[in-house]
Structure 1
Amino acid sequence: MKRRNFLSKSLAAAASTVTLGGALATAATARDTAPAEKPFKLNYAPHDGMFANHGGKDFVDQIKFMHDQGFRGIEDNGMLGRPKEQQDKIGATLAKLGMTMGVFVVDTGNNWKISLTSGKQEFKDAFIDTCKRSVELAKRVNAKWATVVPGFYERRLPIGIQTANVVDALRRGAEILEQGGLIMVLEPLSDTPELFLRYSDQTYEICKAVDSPSCKILYDIYHMQRNEGNIIPNIEKCWDEIAYFQIGDNPGRNEPTTGEINYKNIFKYIHDRGYRGIMGMEHGNAKSGKEGELALIKAYRESDSF
C-alpha cells in the first residue's frame, strides 16, 4: 500500500472512532441527564425498600430514584425510630425534590396489645408522650399525617366502655397534635380480629366523637377490602373524615393489577372527588429484583391511566 493511501485510511478510521466515541459519550450524557418521568395524576407514595434494587440500600438514594420515576411522595412507618441525622437528611432531600412526606406511625410500643381500650393511665401517658415526640419529628421532615392504632380489644370490658376509653385518649392526643399542625389518621386493620379498630364506620364514629381536625381516617383499601368490601360506597359514606389513603391489592397485598381490586376505578373515583393527598403504597412487590420493581411502576402507570 502506498504511504499516501495508508495515511488517508488511517485518518479516516481515526475520525470514525472519534465520531463514534462522541456519539456514545453524548448518549451516556443524555441518559444521565434524562428528564424525570412525568408525575402521576395521584400522589402515590412508595416506602423504604420498594426500589432498593434500583436505588440502592440508602433510603435517600431510593427517594431520588422514586422522584425520577414520577413519584412525588413517600411514607415511612418507622421514621420515628430513625436517628435524628437520618431524619434530617430525608427531610432535606424531600424539600429539595419537592416531594411530600406521608405517614409515619405513632409507635408507643403498645399498638399490638391491649392498651388504649383498657382506660389505664400508663397507656394514655405513653400515647401522649409519643404524640409530643411525633410533633417534633414532623417539624424535621415536614410531615402532616401520622398513623395511630389504638391496640387490641379489652374483652373484659363492654364495647361502649372501650370505645369511650379510646375516644378520651385520642382527644388528649389531638390537643397536642393540633398545636403542632399534625393530623393523626386512625387506621382500621385486618391483621387480626383482636384489633379494636376494624371497620370504616366504626372509625368514622370515633372521629366524630373526638371532634378534632387532628383526628381523621386512614382508609387502607387493602384492609377494608378484607374486612368489609363495598369499597367505593364506603369511601363515599366516610368521605368527610378521610384524610389519607393506602393501597394494596388482595389477595397478596402487592401492587395494583395483581389481585381482585379494580384500582383504576377506585383511583378515578378518588381523583374525581378532588382528593390530591397521599396514596400510600403500603404493600409488597409481586416480583423480586429489578424486574419486579419495573413491573410495579408499570402497574401504577396502568392504574393511573383513567
Structure 2
Amino acid sequence: MLRKDFIKNGLLTAAGIKLGAPIIGQNVQAAEQIKNTNASKPFKMDFAPHQGMFKNHAGDSFLDEIQFMYDQGFRSIEDNGFLNRSIAEQEKIGNLLSKLNMRMGVFVIDAGDNWKTSLTTGKKEFKDRFIEACKKSVDAAKRCNAKWLTVVPGFYERRLPYGNQFANVVDAMRAGAEILEPHGLIMVLETLSDTPELFLQQTHETYAVCKAVQSPSCKILYDIYHMQKTEGQLMVNIDRCWDEIAYIQIGDNPGRKEPTTGEINYKNLFAHIAKKGYTGVMGMEHGNSMPGKEGELKVIQAYRTVDLD
C-alpha cells in the first residue's frame, strides 16, 4: 500500500532484473528461483498483489511492479489508496492494466479516514462526506475500469442503541448505492478484526446490512484473515453469507502474511470457494513473511502451492 510516483522502465521478464544489470551471483540465483515458480504461467485463481509487495525485484515504480506482477502470472492488482492518487497517476495505472488485460481489485471509498467517518452516528456531515466520496469514486473507477470499492461504516457509537446505529448505516449505504448502482459499481463492506471498536465485527452483521440495503451495489468484502481471528468456521460462514459476498481478501493467521505461513488451510479453502463458482479477484491483503527478494519469491511460491490444481 505504498503510494509513490511511478515511471515505467524495463525488466527482464523472467527474473525481474533491470536491463543492463550484471546477471551474476545473487541475480542468477534469483532468476533461477523465479523460473522454478512457473513464472509467466497465469494463476488459476485471480490473486491480486499490491504496491510494495515486489519492490525489491521491480523497484519503486508502481508501473514497473505491475509489469513484474504480470510476468509472474498475476492478472489483477489492488490499490487501496488509488482514490488519493493524482488523476495523471490513476490514468497511467489504468492504461497499463488495460494494455496487460489485468483487473483492478478494490480501492477504498475514502471520505477522509474511511473507518473514522462514523456513519453509525447518523450525523449529516459524515453522511455528506461519504456521498461526496462515492461521487468522486465513480470518476476514479472509470480511469482503471474498477468495479469494487471498499467501505468501512465506522465505529460503534456507545451513546446510541445498536438498532439506531444499524438503521443509520443502512441509510448511508442506500445513499451510496444510489450513486454507484447506475455505473455498475459495488461497495464491499469490510468486517475487520484489528480494530475492536468498529461497528461491524462479524460476517453475519455485514450480511444483515446488505440484506437491508437490498442493492446489487452493496455487498460483503470477506477478508479471510480477519474472519479467522474473529469468528473462525471459515467455510461454514462463507456458505451462510455466500449470496452477499462479492469480494475476497487473503492473509494467513497469525501474522497476516502469505498463505502457508499460518494455521489456515488455504489449499482446501480455495478449492471450496472455487466449487461455489467464484471467479472474482482475491486480494493479497497481507505482508511478506520474509524481507528482500527471497521473501518476494517465497510469496510467489506460496501462491503456486495453494492455487487450484
Range of TM-score over shorter length: 0.7 to 0.9
Partner of 1:11: none
Partner of 1:162: 165
Tell me if structure 2 keeps the 8 A contact 1:76–1:102.
Answer: yes
- 1:193 and 1:113 map into 2 onto residues whose CA distance is 13
Pick the aligned partner of 2:40 from 16, 30, 37.
Answer: 37
- 1:36 and 1:176 map into 2 onto residues whose CA distance is 40
Partner of 1:219: 222
Give me the TM-score of the superposition, normalised by structure 2.
0.87
SS of residue paired to 1:198 = coil
Partner of 2:15: none
Partner of 1:50: 53
Letter in 2 for 1:104: F
1:14-25 equivalent positions in 2, closer than 5 A: none
Q: Which has the higher helix share?
A: 1
- 1:137 and 1:270 map into 2 onto residues whose CA distance is 30
Partner of 1:187: 190
- 2:75 and 2:275 map into 1 onto residues whose CA distance is 19
Q: Does the alignment pair 1:106 with 2:100?
A: no
Tell me if structure 1 keeps the 8 A contact 2:235–2:269.
Answer: yes
Tell me if structure 1 keeps the 8 A contact 2:152–2:190.
Answer: yes
- 2:308 and 2:189 map into 1 onto residues whose CA distance is 29
Give me the TM-score of the superposition, normalised by structure 1.
0.88
Residue-by-residue CA offset, 1:63-93 (whole Å, 9 max, x unaligned)? 0000000000000000000111110000000
1:239 Cα deviation after fit: 0.6
Q: Does the alignment pair 1:274 with 2:277?
A: yes
Partner of 1:94: 97
List runs of 5+ in structure 2 lacking aligned partners.
1-22
Pick the aligned partner of 1:142 from 139, 142, 145.
Answer: 145
Pick the aligned partner of 1:261 from 237, 259, 264.
Answer: 264
SS of residue paired to 1:112 = helix
- 2:56 and 2:47 map into 1 onto residues whose CA distance is 19
Tell me if structure 2 keeps the 8 A contact 1:110–1:123.
Answer: no
SS of residue paired to 2:150 = strand
Partner of 1:4: none
Q: 1:221 to 1:195 in 2, by over 3 A?
A: same
Pick the aligned partner of 2:128 from 115, 125, 143.
Answer: 125
Q: Does the alignment pair 1:205 with 2:203?
A: no
Letter in 2 for 1:207: C
Q: Percent identity?
A: 68
Alignment length, in residue pairs? 276
Tell me if structure 2 keeps the 8 A contact 1:75–1:280.
Answer: yes
SS of residue paired to 2:282 = strand
Residue-by-residue CA offset, 1:19-40 (whole Å, 9 max, x unaligned)? xxxxx9xxx9xx9xx9962111
Q: Does the alignment pair 1:290 with 2:293?
A: yes
Partner of 1:71: 74
Tell me if structure 2 keeps the 8 A contact 1:42–1:304.
Answer: yes
Considering only aligned residues, what root-mean-square deviation do their CA atoms show, in Å? 1.6
Structure 1 residue ranges, 4+ long, deviating more than 6 angstroms after superposition: none
1:110 Cα deviation after fit: 4.1
SS of residue paired to 2:220 = strand
1:305 Cα deviation after fit: 4.3
Q: 1:176 to 1:114 in 2, by over 3 A?
A: closer
List runs of 5+ in structure 1 lacking aligned partners.
1-23
Partner of 1:250: 253
- 2:275 and 2:41 map into 1 onto residues whose CA distance is 20
Letter in 1 for 2:296: E
Answer with 1 or 2: which has the greater Rg.
1
- 2:107 and 2:117 map into 1 onto residues whose CA distance is 21
